[in-house]
Amino acid sequence: MSVFRDDFLWGGACAANQFEGAWDVDGKGPSLPDMCTNGSATTSKWVTTAIRPDKLYPSHEAIDFYHHYEEDIALFAEMGFKVFRTSINWSRIFPTGEESEPNEKGLAFYDRVFDCCKAHGIEPLVTISHYEIPYHLVEQYNGWASREVVGFYVNYCKAIFERYKDKVKYWLTFNEINCGTNRSGNLMALSTCRGYEGPFSEIPDDVQIRYQALHHQFVASAKAVIWAHQHYPQFKMGCMNLFAASYPSTCDPADILANQKNMNLRNWYCSDVQCRGAYPYYACRFWQENDIRIEMEPGDEQLLKDGVVDFYTCSYYSTSCVTTHEGQEKTGGNMGGGIKNPYLKASDWGWQIDPEGLRWSLNEIYARYQLPIMVVENGFGAYDQLEADGSIHDPYRIEYLRRHIQQMAEAVKDGVDLRGYTTWGPIDLVSASTGEMAKRYGFIYVDKYDDGTGDLTRRRKDSFYWYKKVIATNGGDLD
Ligand code: BG6
């Protein structure tokens, strides 16, 4: 028996720079991810300031969705997708970010993608900026560190809103905006890495720049939401957070307080602004203690107030613990990690698996905002084995997803207003954190490998048939 709404949006989520390829085709300019090399579970990927002939840049071809989109969307439709979350590659539309007119060939590509979705009855859910920005804006302005980028972003939004107003209803202003609350945000969320060449793991960090850059994104997001609400009342505008719940390691009150601080900063700071329309009460003390001065322009506070989103979305992969005690074992996680939880197992990349944590998180989010929620990323990155007969058996992925969907069902029974679920990487794509292909999430296997080889053939994994049944039964049959 299904507990999900009849119109529940089941589907999958991808990001342009991780699967489109065609990085310099049809007028596209280079984006920041195009300057990133591949890495692995143990070796950091590099950020370079120019394309180095001796390095491999996985976004350049990726899985070439650009030329395979019809085949791929047909496969999504075969699984019964109701929604497909993808992002628009900003530098396909504005190659440097500063042009006054958009690139027609770039716009036409997304017309084809959205038309194809519609032809299959799939609703597009579009992330406006998913961990990318035209590289020119990094070189010229140090990414979101500069307020000028707000204007370029708003121009970009206006162009795509107008072009796709009859094709796209659901929009997310920034992917995992709260990634900017930690060091990895200098590459992924904020692009504040001008002139840096070296390992991603050692990217320079300046908290003043990071939090100022986040302020610029809040303003940009609010402006986009306000514009959309004024001109396209049919649009639904959402925020997107990397929800990485943390627990106190012990019941020592010091651990409880440390965890509260961590939760506030990592998981709530950004969504409090985007969902409630103002900086949260705990921000001032955090700024003071870290010597952060947020430069605001007159009118910014009103913008934040007027630019609140219509719905909340998040990614959810893993959880970790927080402690004030010395010598505790650490664990990995999405764009960061924490202290290991002895009750949980982890993936090969050290991301702890915590389905119950998803139920807990959804309850916390809903209690705080009372907005409709979508889980727009969840999935299991794993090494898959391609068998000689072309099959791929991935029971570990099915198990991970089944347990998380079970907990979403519990959250729905708890009363959470959950509207949709898009698993991460329904088709194998390039890993954001490591730049590798070997970390696979897909229901669809792609013949593409870390050394750049592979003929790009698509193959259905066992999980493909399982997810098809899940969707067909509206989450009622998870066996
Ligand atoms: C999220 C991102 O952080 O997690 C995606 O929004 C990313 O872009 C996904 O791919 C999984 O992370 P990774 O590092 O395994 O690709």
Task: Identify whether 377 is a catalytic site residue.
Answer: yes
The string of pLDDT tens digits covering residues 187-228 is 999 999 999 999 999 999 999 999 999 999 999 999 999 999
Task: Identify whether 197 is a catalytic site residue.
Answer: no
Opening angle at CA 412, ends 407 and 416, nearest 5: 115
User: Distance, CA 311 to ligand 1 centroid (Å)?
Assistant: 21
Please, which residues have CB within 8 angstroms of residue 160's CB and are 6 or more apart in sequence?
88, 93, 107, 110, 126, 128
Which of 20, 31, 431, 436 for mutating ligand 1's site (highest number of atoms within 8 Å of CB)?
A: 431
Q: From CA 388, how far away is CA 272, in angstroms rounded?
A: 51
- Average pLDDT on 153-171 reads 98
Q: From CA 14, how far away is CA 461, in angstroms rounded?
A: 18
Binned at pLDDT 50, 70 and 90, residue 179 comes out as very high
CATH fold, domain 9-472, is TIM Barrel (3.20.20)
pLDDT value for 210: 98
The string of pLDDT tens digits covering residues 19-61 is 999 999 999 999 999 999 999 989 999 999 999 999 999 999 9
Residue whose C-alpha is closest to residue 103's, from 25, 165, 32: 25
pLDDT > 90: what percent of the chain? Answer: 98
Query: Which residues approach ligand 1 with their CB closer than 6 A?
Result: 15, 18, 131, 175-176, 242, 315, 334-335, 377, 381, 424, 431-434, 439
- Average pLDDT on 272-279 reads 98
Q: From CA 362, how far away is CA 438, in angstroms rounded?
A: 30
Q: From CA 157, how far away is CA 30, in angstroms rounded?
A: 19
Binned at pLDDT 50, 70 and 90, residue 424 comes out as very high
Q: Which neighbouring-strand residues pair with 346?
A: 352
**pLDDT above 90 for 399:** yes
pLDDT value for 371: 98
Please, which residues have CB within 8 angstroms of residue 31's CB and are 6 or more apart in sequence?
17, 23, 59, 89, 90, 91, 132, 133, 134, 135
351 CA closest ligand 1 atom index: 15
pLDDT value for 334: 86
The H helix count followed by the E strand count for the chain is 14, 16
pLDDT value for 437: 97
Binned at pLDDT 50, 70 and 90, residue 336 comes out as confident
User: Distance, CA 292 to ligand 1 centroid (Å)?
Assistant: 28
**pLDDT above 80 for 335:** no
Domain ranges of the chain: 9-472
Burial class of residue 154 (count of CB atoms within 10 Å of its CB; 0-12, 13-18, 19+): middle
**pLDDT above 90 for 62:** yes
- Average pLDDT on 92-97 reads 98
Q: How is 303-368 classified by DSSP, letter by letter?
A: HHHHT--SEEEEE----EEE-SSTTPPEEB-TT--EEPPTT--B-TT-BBP-HHHHHHHHHHHHHH
The string of pLDDT tens digits covering residues 348-370 is 999 999 999 999 999 999 999 99
User: Distance, CA 188 to ligand 1 centroid (Å)?
Assistant: 10
Instruction: From the candidates 123, 176, 410, 436, give the one annotated as an active-site residue.
Output: 176
User: Distance, CA 174 to ligand 1 centroid (Å)?
Assistant: 14
Q: With contact defined as beta carbons under 8 Å apart, do 123 and 83 qualify?
A: yes
Please, which residues have CB within 8 angstroms of residue 389's CB and are 6 or more apart in sequence?
none
pLDDT value for 41: 86
In eight-state DSSP terms, residue 263 is I
User: Distance, CA 425 to ligand 1 centroid (Å)?
Assistant: 9
Q: With contact defined as beta carbons under 8 Å apart, do 453 and 64 qualify?
A: no
Which of 173, 315, 440 for mutating ligand 1's site (highest number of atoms within 8 Å of CB)?
A: 315
Tokens of 386: 């391609």
pLDDT value for 97: 98
The string of pLDDT tens digits covering residues 448-473 is 999 999 999 999 999 999 999 999 99
pLDDT value for 49: 98
Residue ranges of E strands in 19-160: 46-47, 83-87, 123-127
- Average pLDDT on 329-353 reads 92
175 CA closest ligand 1 atom index: 6
Please, which residues have CB within 8 angstroms of residue 53's CB and are 6 or more apart in sequence?
none
379 CA closest ligand 1 atom index: 11
Binned at pLDDT 50, 70 and 90, residue 83 comes out as very high
